[in-house]
Amino acid sequence: MKDPIIQLKGLTKQYGCLKAVDDLNLDVYKGEIFGLLGPNGAGKTTTILMMLGLTDPTSGTACVCGHNATSSPIKVKKKVGYMPDSVGFYDNMTALENLIYIGRLNGVPENELQTRAAGVLEIVGLAADKHKKTSAFSRGMKQRLGLADVLIKNPDVIILDEPTLGIDPTGVRDFLALIKQLSQKQGLTVLLSSHHLHHVQQVCDRVGIFVNGKLLAQGDIGALSGQLFGTDGHITSITVKQAITQPWLLEPELKQWEAIKQITINKNELEFTCSRDITPSLVRLFVEKEYDVIGVHQKNYGLDDIYQKYFESNRTEI
Amino acid sequence: MKSQSDDTRPFSVMVHKEIADHIRSWRFAILIALIVLTFIASMYVSLANIKSAIGNTNDPDHVFLYLKLLTTTDNSIPPFHVFLSFLAPLLGISLGFDAINSEQNSGTLTRLMAQPIYRDNLLLAKFVSALVIVSGLFLALALLMIGGGLVLTGVRMEPQELIRIFGFIVITIAYVAFWLSLSIMLSILFKQAATSALTAIGIWLFFTIFYQIVINVVVKSFLPDPALLSQAQVIYYNDLILNLLRVAPNQLYSDAITTLLMPSVRSLGPVTMEQMAGAIPSPLPFKESVMIVWPQVSGLIASTVGCFALAYFLFMRREIRS
């Protein structure tokens, strides 16, 4: 059984009468990439701040790496690297100087400092710019320097708050690939928050959907769609060459299949909603009946649909 | 032993970085230039008048050449210690007014706070680094003055003079420390550096210019006619006014400095004829001067500590987000 490296229990943060985070329970396991997905103002940053002891929870506990983040933040911060959403650097210092300063604050031995700083700059691809002042850095470069800054302390867990905000699409892809690679190579646990579902979908092993301070669902993407769309999760659509005439001869026969819940016919495109995946037997049947199948498409719910669905249901509640 | 060095290391790293930042900043260069210029100007004036000041045998302080260097003037410009009572607040304010809020606005505060350091270490590092620099500056100026005086006049220095000059430096540093801690406190309170700078300068102006006027106006409105009062009552009211004026830190500073630099000053309040009877107008020993200014010095230190404690209170449990 895996032990959770981040364990949030009944975490609540109240600002006046506004509940920013409401009774949050969340476990993140060692070595996984967890995506905290939610719209702006959902309480993602507040949750992260509570995990680092930068703000006190109204009630509940946040346990990170076995330490309570509220009562012993220093121990937590030794193990956790945090990159804030708008990461800033000392403009009058170079990238290397900024890194070395953070390295010193983390107690990295002086004789290792230079090599380690150069090493992490190499990893994030800023080796050529290490003697540039950070005031001249672009947003994407700052973001990468922020990652280097997190890595120099050799953390067990890294927490990235909106790491993809404001970088161009190629930059995002490279950045996410880098995070994935680091997580695999060094066995890092990564928690990243974002409101960009595609970014999260690309790298995260598990996702938690966070709206208005509540964690609505968590799990991998398959599990999420299962949770959300229930048993009618599998949709197979088959396109055939000849037009289907109503009433369709095969329909009564297919209705006998217990797995099929619903059949929608749209000219030459048939959509089957099934309780489990029966695409192969469907295709076999079509071929036997001498239909010219020109396309089979298995519809998986992406994060987009999941996200949309949650927001819709959330909006109607209000 | 090991754990202790682990705890103090981030602090000294932060102090180093802050000192380096201050030294490289334009702001500090300008301040140094300003203070060095006033120092040179007042030294020039006092050197020009030193002969008559030393030759004036009616002045019990005339034997203290080096103290005279700091205090003599021909009234064209104020002496150095009066200049300092204006410039020291400026120095303290300008080194501290953006200590926390500029870090917060540039997004470095969150990053810094995510490192395994104690929060109070950051505040303390900001405070200590500025003080180290200010102490270095004043110490260098004092030593320059002593050395220059030795070279120019060739007069031997009394040990008492050296102690008094160092006392003057220490009190000046304490005075800067007060304004520094006040401005650091304001930099936590206000998000914008400009607001905190303006507020600090406002407080400074209030105490240097308006406070005396306000006290005078208020006291005049309820003070009975002095002609109708007994002597004891006059002294009582006089003390009251003086004590009210001593709420202002610059009053405390100038009281303390005047006593230290002019050894013949015996009292900071009114003295009755009975008390003066039999007193020889001669300089006091250093210890006695210190006894006179001790309340002032402890007042200055207390207000420094008070501001700093308030800064701690505001900062320790605050939510840090950019």
DSSP string covering B207-257:
IIIIHHHHHHHHHHHHPPPGGGS-HHHHHHHHHHHHHHHTTSHHHHHHHHH
Domain containing B65: what range? 2-270+283-316
Contacts of A106 in chain B (CB under 8 A): 115-116
CATH of the domain at A197: 3.40.50.300
**Rounded to whole angstroms, how far apart are CA atoms A212 and B252?**
55
User: Is residue A81 domain-shared with residue A134, that is, in the same domain?
Assistant: yes
**Rounded to whole angstroms, how far apart are CA atoms A68 and B41?**
60
The closest of A124, A85, A125, A120 to A106, measured between CA atoms, is A120
pLDDT at residue A44 is higher than 80 = yes
Does residue B75 lie within any of the structural domains?
yes
User: Is residue A82 domain-shared with residue A147, that is, in the same domain?
Assistant: yes
Does residue B100 lie within any of the structural domains?
yes
Does residue B164 lie within any of the structural domains?
yes
Question: Other C-beta atoms within 10 Å of A2: how many?
Answer: 9
Does residue B278 lie within any of the structural domains?
no
| B322 closest CB neighbour out of A84, A90, A91 | A84
Q: What is the model's pLDDT at position A56? A: 87
pLDDT at residue B209 is higher than 80 = yes
> Contact B108/A54, CB-based, under 8 Å?
no
A85-89, B243-247, B272-276: which has the minimum mean pLDDT? B272-276
Interface test with B, best of A14, A58, A104 (most B CBs within 10 A): A104
Report the gap between the CA of B115 and the closest CA in chain A (Å): 6
Contacts of A47 in chain B (CB under 8 A): none
**Rounded to whole angstroms, how far apart are CA atoms A148 and A250?**
61
Does residue B321 lie within any of the structural domains?
no
User: Is residue A199 domain-shared with residue A241, that is, in the same domain?
Assistant: no
**Residues 39-78, chain A, touching B (beta carbon < 8 A):** 45, 49, 52, 54-56, 74-75, 77-78
Is some CB atom of chain B closer than 8 A to the CB atom of A85?
Answer: yes
Does residue A189 lie within any of the structural domains?
yes
Is some CB atom of chain B closer than 8 A to the CB atom of A87?
Answer: yes
Does residue A314 lie within any of the structural domains?
no
Q: What is the model's pLDDT at position B122? A: 92
B124 secondary structure, DSSP code: H
Is some CB atom of chain B closer than 8 A to the CB atom of A306?
Answer: no
User: Is residue A94 domain-shared with residue A142, that is, in the same domain?
Assistant: yes
Does residue B47 lie within any of the structural domains?
yes
User: Is residue A157 domain-shared with residue A292, that is, in the same domain?
Assistant: no
pLDDT band at A80 (very low <50, low <70, confident <90, very high): very high
Cβ contacts from A onto B, under 8 A = 79
Does residue B299 lie within any of the structural domains?
yes
The H-assigned helical ranges of chain A are 44-51, 73-79, 95-105, 110-124, 139-151, 169-186, 197-203, 221-229, 251-255, 279-288, 303-317
> What share of chain A has pLDDT > 90, as a percent?
18
* The last residue of a domain, from among A177, A208, A227: A227
pLDDT at residue B84 is higher than 90 = no
Question: Other C-beta atoms within 10 Å of B108: how many?
Answer: 20
* The last residue of a domain, from among A195, A227, A259: A227
Question: Other C-beta atoms within 10 Å of B25: how many?
Answer: 14
Is some CB atom of chain A closer than 8 A to the CB atom of B14?
Answer: yes
Q: What is the model's pLDDT at position B1? A: 38
* The last residue of a domain, from among A173, A202, A227: A227
Does residue A151 lie within any of the structural domains?
yes
Residue range B216-253, pLDDT digits in tens: 888 888 877 777 778 888 888 888 888 888 888 988 99
Pick the residue with more confidence: A314 or A181?
A: A181
Q: What is the model's pLDDT at position A103? A: 92
User: Is residue A279 domain-shared with residue A187, that is, in the same domain?
Assistant: no
> Contact A105/B322, CB-based, under 8 Å?
no
* Chain A nearest-CA residue for B117: A74
> Contact A54/B319, CB-based, under 8 Å?
yes
Is some CB atom of chain B closer than 8 A to the CB atom of A269?
Answer: no
Query: Amino acid letter at B193?
Result: A
Does residue A62 lie within any of the structural domains?
yes
Question: Other C-beta atoms within 10 Å of B301: how many?
Answer: 14
User: Is residue A193 domain-shared with residue A247, that is, in the same domain?
Assistant: no
Domain containing A287: what range? 234-299
CATH of the domain at A259: 3.30.70
> Contact A87/B13, CB-based, under 8 Å?
no
Does residue A309 lie within any of the structural domains?
no
Number of compact structural domains in chain A: 2
Is some CB atom of chain A closer than 8 A to the CB atom of B74?
Answer: no
Residue range A180-213, pLDDT digits in tens: 888 888 888 999 898 887 778 778 888 888 888 8
User: Is residue A223 domain-shared with residue A241, that is, in the same domain?
Assistant: no
Q: At what angle do helices B159-189 and B249-261 cross, to 10 degrees?
A: 170
- Regarding pTM above 0.80, the answer is yes
User: Is residue A115 domain-shared with residue A243, that is, in the same domain?
Assistant: no
> Contact B115/A49, CB-based, under 8 Å?
no
Q: What is the model's pLDDT at position A1? A: 45
Q: Compute chain A's Rg from CA coordinates.
A: 25
> Contact B320/A55, CB-based, under 8 Å?
yes
User: Is residue A273 domain-shared with residue A130, that is, in the same domain?
Assistant: no
* Chain B nearest-CA residue for A89: B108
Report the gap between the CA of A148 and the closest CA in chain B (Å): 12
Residue range A253-298, pLDDT digits in tens: 877 887 777 788 877 888 887 777 788 888 888 888 888 888 888 7
| A88 closest CB neighbour out of B106, B114, B317 | B106
Does residue A310 lie within any of the structural domains?
no
Q: What is the model's pLDDT at position B303? A: 93
> What share of chain B has pLDDT > 90, as a percent?
39
> Contact B115/A90, CB-based, under 8 Å?
no
